[in-house]
Amino acid sequence: MADSKIKIIRVGTASCGIAAGSDEVLKAIRGRVSQDVSVEEVGCIGHCYAEPIVEVVTSSGEEIAYSNVKADNGAIDSVLSLGNEFRFEIPRARAQKECIKVTRLAGKIVPTSIEEYKANGGYSALAKSLSSTPEWVIDEVKRSGLRGRGGGGFPTGNKWHFLSLKKADEKIMICNADEGDPGAFMDRSMMECVPHQVLEGMLIGAYATGATKLFIYCRAEYPLAIKNLSAAIKQIYENKLNVLDGRSLEIIIKEGAGAFVCGEETAMIASLEGKRGMPRFRPPFPTDRGWMSFPTLINNVETFANIPLIISEGGDEYAKLGTLTSKGTKLFALAGDLKYPGLIEVPMGITLGEIVFDIGGADRDSVKAVQTGGPSGGCIPVEHFDVAVDYDSLRSLGAIMGSGGLIVIGKERCMVETARYFLDFTHRESCGKCTFCRVGTKRMFEALERITGGSGTEDDVKFLEQMGPMVRKGSLCGLGQTAPNPVLSTLRYFRNEYDDHVKKRQCAAFQCNALTDVAIDQKNCIKCKLCIKNCPVNAVSDDFVIDNSKCTRCNTCIEVCPKNTIHRVKRGEGYYSSSPEVKNGQN
């Protein structure tokens, strides 16, 4: 080690790294190293909580990672001297539970370098496919058991087979890169970090199905993903990798406007055609009549990213990992009340408990539930965390796999407010075509607003129970069919919290503003006046009493109090209570 010199420095410059300041770190490192050291901009390795991350490769081949590297915190000195401070080690429990396959090159190669991708086995799966028949490729995908990673879980090989049978002047293949789930970033990360891997999967699919035109429907809010995809597509054209069996494929990036409903395949097709993004009845299915009436196949980013792996190792080998009905690995975006948020890759069949506690590092005594499947997913209580993560098991609990968003919910959170929060998003994202989705979700949201606002009744709760299934059955697309999930799942598992809100006018989590007051512990208050100085509405008097008729429950006083003497209390307790029900609430 003493004789080792720095050969390569990799700086994580995906969106998560840039948000943490990696662009400044990159500039600082380039200004301090000699020309014989290669400084590379790479993608994200998934440990977003530790960004900015810098990895050093020495002349002896050793790889050393450093976390929380800032341009001004002395970490760069440690990196360049191969010091021990700021060194990053993957948490042991996470290392034991993760299964890195699809993301194996993320953070290890320059995303826009086709040479690096090829040097690590890239496009060998395409070459293997081209040396075989399209039927062989489809058979391998079928044997792998790969199901669509966009949330629907339809067998990918079957969908490819359907398109391959179609006879048409044009056959279309679309990569769904819309990823509308708030907080989810699996697809974005793959496009930013390994765009060639996604594109190789699409090219293999085009060869297998006879597709003549490829679209990537990517939300415009992903500028780095679009930039890296554009660079990769240019390199594909230059290397003529888009020429299959003598036919030249056009690869087109379409920037979406951020409409959640356009994640639904027929709404996406309408948007690609220049129309308003609205779903239509099926049949005919897209593989029969899709873009401009041509047969069309849609898979999402993660699905395509699995294809090179399947072809390289074989469908049977791929199928050895996972459960009987759900094969391979799954990417999840971990967020919420846990220690290690970020992107993870786990084998199908892992339990929710292993994800939340072993990988996410959440406190076992502080977790109430987990929400899977994005804003229209369900909330699963901690007593069911022994369930295996696969498509069917999650559905049996009232949740969905979705594209991979997973939010950990702590005991300090109100489940009624959680349901209101998610329905606030989905009801606004409705395209308005279906009455039950357009009106039903709005009325459900209004009922939740009344309940969390302190004026809800038992009739509101009954209405939610009745309307939820109606919205599911009466909606045309997946948005409306799944929008009631957060409400129905919280009613199923956390009915007591609804009862507290409407019968006792209480929020046990002290999160619903209308059902809580804020009070100062006069006995332990040191009279520092920080609460008075920082209150935006002058609700704190000179004798340190909070006027809750003025208070907006913004929590500013709670956050600035140096002695933790300001708390949320039950509504009506506008004075300090020493009961165990007093809490530091959060909005």
**Does 546 share its domain with 461?**
no
What's the total number of domains in the chain?
5
**Does 291 share its domain with 155?**
yes
Model confidence band, residue 578 (pLDDT cutoffs 50, 70, 90): very low
| pLDDT value for 575 | 53
Run of H or E residues at 409:
strand 405-410
| pLDDT value for 116 | 97
Residue 576 scores a pLDDT above 60: no
Residue 557 belongs to domain with CATH number: 3.30.70.20
> Mean pLDDT throughout 340-361?
96
Residue 585 scores a pLDDT above 50: no
Q: Calculate the alpha carbon distances from 248 to 126, 211, 214, 229, 259 in Å.
A: 15, 11, 11, 18, 32
pLDDT, one tens digit per residue, over 509-524 is 999 999 999 999 989 9
Model confidence band, residue 574 (pLDDT cutoffs 50, 70, 90): low
Rounded-to-integer distance, Cα 66 and Cα 69, Å: 7
Domain final residue pick, 371, 394, 410 = 410
Model confidence band, residue 583 (pLDDT cutoffs 50, 70, 90): low
Q: Calculate the alpha carbon distances from 453 to 244, 416, 422, 513, 570 in Å.
A: 60, 11, 16, 7, 14
The answer, yes or no, to whether the previous bond of 283 is cis (omega within 30 of 0) is yes
**Does 11 share its domain with 57?**
yes
Domain final residue pick, 317, 344, 376 = 317
pLDDT cut 70: percent of the chain above it: 97
Which residues does 313 contact at the CB level (< 8 Å), separation at least 6?
none
Locus of tokens 């035109």: 213
**Does 25 share its domain with 54?**
yes
| pLDDT value for 15 | 95
Residue 150 scores a pLDDT above 90: no
**Does 496 share its domain with 564?**
no
Q: What is the DSSP string of 345-366?
A: EEETT-BHHIIIIIIT---TTT
Rounded-to-integer distance, Cα 333 and Cα 343, Å: 5
160 domain residue, yes or no: yes
Model confidence band, residue 586 (pLDDT cutoffs 50, 70, 90): very low
The residue range of the domain holding 464 is: 415-504
Residue 587 scores a pLDDT above 90: no
Question: Per DSSP, which regions of 206-269 are E strands?
Answer: 213-219, 243-244, 247-248, 250-256
pLDDT, one tens digit per residue, over 382-419 is 999 999 999 999 999 998 888 788 999 999 999 999 99
Residue 303 scores a pLDDT above 50: yes
Q: Cβ distance 224 to 251 under 8 Å?
A: no
**Does 341 share its domain with 286?**
no
